[in-house]
Structure 1
Amino acid sequence: MNPEGANHANPIGLLIVDDHPVVRDGLRGMFSGDTRFEVVGEAADGAEAVRQALALRPDVVLMDLRMPGVDGVSAIGQLAERGSAARVLVLTTYDTDSDVVAAIEAGATGYLLKDAPREELFRAVVAAARGEAVLAPTVASRLMGQVREVRQVRQPAPEPLSQRELEVLGLIAKGSTNREAAAKLFISEATVKTHVLHIYAKLGVNDRAAAVATAFDRGLFTPGGGTP
């Protein structure tokens, strides 16, 4: 088989896996009409898909997910465990978070939906044969959303400001300079500067304006400049 799919004498070998005969017929007809591809086999469930993939050694397996008996995700995992070199491109009608993540974690190279245009599907198979990741736009968006959620969960809770830091920030919000804040709080200007640096670090900001804006956003004090 030829992963590049550019040489007509060595087309990309495909194994089509779907429990609906009409779907398999449609996909076989579609790919058989393009000399870049060769349909080397078909399977109606995950168990048969594993047997055929190991025997026929296709370049790419077009894998449905929800099938009777052994489902697509289980079949993908079994192929990975048994050292199959075939790239698995999921082709399904389902794009729920659980389906997408389970398939990719099991070892799928790509994930497309069955409403994908013909040329998009062709490009995806060629890319999958090269080992490139292929994701439908909606699937990519879901994964990005999950990554953002995980990052937010992993972020530590912001460290609270001390009472003195709140007092300094309150004076800054009212327009006081470091010297003026020091005089009002009966502390040195150097101590005020230290408090300001701690405030910046805890709020994740780099200047006075951002510190005040972040404090308001977090409800650390009211628009009048005092603590709530």
Structure 2
Amino acid sequence: MIRVLLVDDHPMLRAGVRRSLETDPGIEVVAEAASVTEALRFARSVSPDVVVLDVDLNDGDRSGADVAQALKGSSARILAFSAHDGRGFIRAMLDAGAAGYITKDTPEQELIAAVKAVASGQGRWHVVPNDPMHPIGSLTERERDMLRLLAKGLSNADIADTLFVSESTVRNTLTGVYEKVGATSSREAMAWAWENGIGPHAP
């Protein structure tokens, strides 16, 4: 059973999300919070597996990002939930420690899938709409394959074994990928892949 803490300052929205999540017998909403203080208190008292967290939580000078930051290092994994789909919002929550980011118009089954993915230790990130000028269009099939495996958490050696190429080929190819997507490290490349639908849960 996946234990969920639902954090949002709009009661009607919380009720709707609760109903959606609890249509799945493997998910239980164990608590609801409407503020940063409540969220942190419940996170300690009910030990949720996943915190579905409103990015736009309005609590004085504190926000949803403060909850995510405070829970870094805990067993609870954060699924950010927002009306905004801009990359800046996604990046901010990634930096705050969120394991996933979805928008509030996400269909019920995708919401449930996102909670399950985050609970199982995988990322789930809103995909930026297609753009013909987007770097994803410049990636070759081999580069996408390597980036997809990197996003799954595989090492260079594991990627080499999976694709039957040398480790030096993987290093050289990924160096080119980093340049194309503007990443300076494997972590940044993984985040880019998650944001753009390349990875375990790409559509």
2:29 corresponds to 1:39? yes
- Rounded Cα–Cα distance in structure 2 between residues aligned with 1:38 and 1:46: 21
The structure 1 residue matched to 2:182, chosen from 131, 134, 150, is 150
Amino acid across the alignment from 1:73: A
> Within 5 Å, which residues of 2 pair with 1:72-87?
72-80=64-72, 83-87=73-77
Tell me if structure 2 keeps the 8 A contact 1:111–1:139: no
**1:121–1:97 CA distance, 2 compared to 1 (3 A):** same
What displacement does 1:18 show?
A: 0.6
Q: Which structure 1 residue ranges, 5 or more long, are not aligned?
A: 1-10, 153-228
The alignment yields a C-alpha RMSD, in angstroms, of 2.6
- Rounded Cα–Cα distance in structure 1 between residues aligned with 2:86 and 2:48: 28
> Residue in 1 aligned with 2:39?
49
Question: Partner of 1:91: helix, strand, or coil?
Answer: strand
Tell me if structure 2 keeps the 8 A contact 1:53–1:84: no
> Within 5 Å, which residues of 2 pair with 1:82-161?
83-138=73-128, 148=180, 150=182
What displacement does 1:29 show?
A: 1.4
Q: How many residues align?
A: 139
- Rounded Cα–Cα distance in structure 2 between residues aligned with 1:88 and 1:140: 26
Question: Partner of 2:31: helix, strand, or coil?
Answer: strand
Tell me if structure 1 keeps the 8 A contact 2:55–2:65: yes
What displacement does 1:16 show?
A: 0.5
Q: Highest relative contact order (Cα 8 Å, sep 6+), 1 or 2? A: 2
Using the size of structure 2 for normalisation, the TM-score is: 0.62
Q: Which structure 2 residue ranges, 5 or more long, are not aligned?
A: 137-177, 185-203
Question: Partner of 2:128: helix, strand, or coil?
Answer: helix
> Residue in 1 aligned with 2:171?
none
- Rounded Cα–Cα distance in structure 1 between residues aligned with 2:51 and 2:19: 16
- Rounded Cα–Cα distance in structure 1 between residues aligned with 2:127 and 2:6: 23
Question: Partner of 1:137: helix, strand, or coil?
Answer: coil
What displacement does 1:92 show?
A: 0.8
Using the size of structure 1 for normalisation, the TM-score is: 0.56
What displacement does 1:30 show?
A: 1.5
What displacement does 1:139 show?
A: 7.9
Q: Percent identity?
A: 36
- Rounded Cα–Cα distance in structure 1 between residues aligned with 2:130 and 2:113: 17
